[in-house]
A and B are shown apart, each in its own frame.
Chain A
């Protein structure tokens, strides 16, 4: 869940320097700094790459029903954060979807 951590990390860097008490650790890479109070924390179930689970080594652009769950109604490719696909498989998936689009198996965009 890197996307949830990033905004928090950004605020701790960009915000005013929090220094409670006279601790002698001015600017070391102290890490996230323990539990944050007053911040909302989301605990989401970690999604697993479906292709990794199924041990897929090659995503075939001809198998439309395999690609269908990874596109939106409008024909857009779903982002990784929605599907939990790992980066390698997302790359292959994107390639396969684009090929399928080229031969009219999948839409580029579906008009309303």
Chain B
């Protein structure tokens, strides 16, 4: 299976001690490593106001992880851990790679278009490129 990219955000209770948060993160990293995943990014956004009340809290400690994995199983395991954890009140996992692929596609298309435009009056290569674009 090809590699997939996920965004994982979870929110801890605002009163959670820092060590507890760190422990949760290391536990997640361990789980990742076990299943052959990799944590690409790790950001602690800190305590911020939530848009609505969650578990009777108005604020939450946000942690953001970006995970690369070839196994979807890993996500199930991570979500299970987050659900069990007492400190975590909310979590969200989003698969990103397909959207990034789409982004690259658009980027590529635009680059090609931009590259074609200035060449048009000068070189004779322009019509062929245009032809390819029309077909593809």
Once the chains bind, are A104 and B54 in contact (CB under 8 Å)? yes
Of the stretches B26-34, B77-85, B94-102, B123-131, the one at the interface is B94-102
Other CB < 8 Å A-B pairs besides A99-B92, A103-B11, A104-B51, 15 of them?
A58-B103, A75-B51, A101-B51, A102-B92, A103-B9, A103-B90, A103-B91, A103-B92, A104-B50, A104-B52, A105-B50, A105-B51, A107-B51, A108-B51, A108-B52
Q: B60 an interface residue at 8 Å Cβ cutoff?
A: yes
Tell me the complex Cα distance, A105–B59, Å. Answer: 11
- Size of A's binding interface in residues, CB under 8 A: 15
B residues bordering A, Cβ < 8 Å?
A: 7, 9, 11, 50-52, 54, 60, 64, 90-92, 94, 99-100, 102-103, 106-107, 110
Once the chains bind, are A62 and B7 in contact (CB under 8 Å)? yes
Tell me the complex Cα distance, A57–B104, Å. Answer: 8
B contact residues around A46 at 8 Å (CB):
none
A contact residues around B7 at 8 Å (CB):
62
- Tell me the minimal C-beta distance from B136 to chain A in angstroms: 18
Once the chains bind, are B106 and A57 in contact (CB under 8 Å)? yes
- Tell me the minimal C-beta distance from B78 to chain A in angstroms: 15
Once the chains bind, are B60 and A99 in contact (CB under 8 Å)? no
Q: Which of B60, B99, B107 contacts A104 (CB 8 A)?
A: B60
Q: A93 an interface residue at 8 Å Cβ cutoff?
A: no
Q: A70 an interface residue at 8 Å Cβ cutoff?
A: no
Tell me the complex Cα distance, A33–B71, Å. Answer: 61
Q: A55 an interface residue at 8 Å Cβ cutoff?
A: yes
In the complex, the chain B residue whose C-beta lies closest to that of A107 is: B51
A contact residues around B52 at 8 Å (CB):
104, 107-108
In the complex, the chain A residue whose C-beta lies closest to that of B48 is: A105
Residue among B54, B99, B110 facing the most chain A CB atoms (10 A cut-off): B99
B contact residues around A61 at 8 Å (CB):
94
Tell me the complex Cα distance, A42–B17, Å. Answer: 60
- Tell me the minimal C-beta distance from B82 to chain A in angstroms: 12
B contact residues around A99 at 8 Å (CB):
92, 94
B contact residues around A55 at 8 Å (CB):
110
Known A104-B50, A104-B52: A58·B99 in contact at CB below 8 Å: yes
Once the chains bind, are B90 and A58 in contact (CB under 8 Å)? no
A contact residues around B106 at 8 Å (CB):
57
Known A99-B94, A104-B11: A62·B64 in contact at CB below 8 Å: yes
